[in-house]
A and B are shown apart, each in its own frame.
Chain A
Amino acid sequence: MSEPVTTMESLVSLDYERPLTLATRQYLAAIRDGRLIGHRCPSCERIYTPPKGYCPICTVTTSEADEIELASTGTLVAFSILNPDSLHQGEASVVRGNVKLDGIDVTLTGELTDVTPDEAHVGIRLRAVFADPSALEGALAEWGGAGISGWERSGEPDVPAEELERFETGGVI
C-alpha cells in the first residue's frame, strides 16, 4: 500500500466497423464451399484474394467476370518461427509460412498446423485447412488467406530444391 506507483497502463483500443463488400461476401461464400477465389485485374493481371472489387494500382473495378479459382494446395517457400512472448501468441512456438499456390505465382501466409519449428524447411507440400464456417467472421476477410485457418501437410514428397529455384513467387496484393 505504501509503495509508490511507478507505471500506468495506457491501453490503446480501437474498434473498427467495416461493412462487407459484395466481393468479400462472394469470397466468404466460396470459402464455405471449400473453394478459394480471387479476382484477376483485367488491366494488369494482378491477382487479389480476397478480392477487393477493384484494382487500386490500375483504378479499375473488378467483378465476378474477373473471378478465378485458386488452388488450395501449394508449397512452402518461406517461413518464420514465432516464439511466444509475455503478452500473447500462445504458449508454444509456431511456424508461419508463405505458401505458393499450385499453378499460379501467388503466395498466401498462414500458420502451419502440423509442422514443428524443428521440421520447418522450404519445399514442404501443404493444403489449406478451411476455417469452420461459424468462425468466418467478416473480420477475417480483409487479408490474404482469410477463411483459411492454417496449412497442413498434404503428404506428398517435398518439392526438390532445383525446382523451387524456378518458382517465381509474387505476393498477393
Chain B
Amino acid sequence: MSEPTIPTVTVEMPYVRTLGPVMSRFFTGLRDRQIWANRTEGGTVMCPPFEYDLSGHDATDDWVQLEGSGTVSSWAWIAEPLRNHLLQEPFAWALIRLDGADTDLVHAVRVADKDQMRSGMRVSVRWRDERVGSIRDIECFEPEEA
C-alpha cells in the first residue's frame, strides 16, 4: 500500500466573452495605455465604465479619460497568492478610486509589506510591457512616488 497522497484535480472552463461596445472601449484603451471611464447624466463618473446608468438605466456614452493615479478606498491582504493571481508574491486586492472617478476599480496593489497598506494611500498604475486588451494589461498598482 502506497502512502496517502493528496491529488489535485484541475477543472478549467476557457470561456471567451464578447465585450460589447462599452467594455470594448475600456479594454481597447487599456491596450493603448489609456484608462477610460464614462459619465452618467447625473454626472457620476464610473470606472470601470458601465453599459448603463445604475440609477436611471439610461445608456452611457459620455466618455472621460482618466490618469493612472488614485486613492485606495479599501483593501484585503493576500498572503498566499493562487497560481492564477496577477502577482505571485503577497499583495493586496484593493478598491481604487481613480482621480476623477466616483466609483472604485478592483485591482492588485504591490507593496513590499502588508504594513505599507492603508486606506487612503495614493497609488498609480504600472502598465505591462506587452498589452493585449485585458485587465491584466495593468500589471498592478504601486504606491505613488512621494
A positions within 8 Å CB-CB of B:
4-20, 25-26, 28-29, 87, 137-139, 141-142
Contact = CB atoms under 8 A, between A and B. Distances in A.
B146 interface: no
Secondary structure at chain B's binding surface: helix, strand, loop or mixed? mixed
Contacts, number: 91
In terms of DSSP, what is the predominant structure of the interface of chain A? mixed
Given A25-B1, A29-B1, A15 B9 contact: yes
Interface residues of B, number: 31
A14 B10 contact: yes
A17 B9 CA distance: 6
29 contacts: A5-B24, A5-B27, A5-B31, A7-B19, A8-B23, A8-B135, A9-B16, A10-B15, A10-B16, A10-B17, A11-B13, A11-B84, A12-B13, A13-B10, A13-B13, A13-B84, A14-B10, A15-B9, A15-B10, A15-B82, A16-B8, A17-B8, A17-B9, A18-B9, A19-B4, A29-B2, A138-B7, A139-B7, A141-B7
Contact of B14 (A14, A87, A137, A139): A87
Given A19-B4, A25-B1, A138-B5, A14 B11 contact: yes
B126 interface: no
Interface of B: 1-2, 4-19, 23-25, 27-28, 31, 82-84, 132-135
A18 B9 CA distance: 8
A20 B4 CA distance: 6
A7 B83 CA distance: 23
Nearest to B25: A4
Contacts of B5: 19-20, 138
Contacts of B15: 9-12
B31 to A, nearest CB: 6
B16 A8 contact: yes
Nearest to A142: B9
Contacts of A142: 9
B7 A13 contact: no
B71 to A, nearest CB: 27
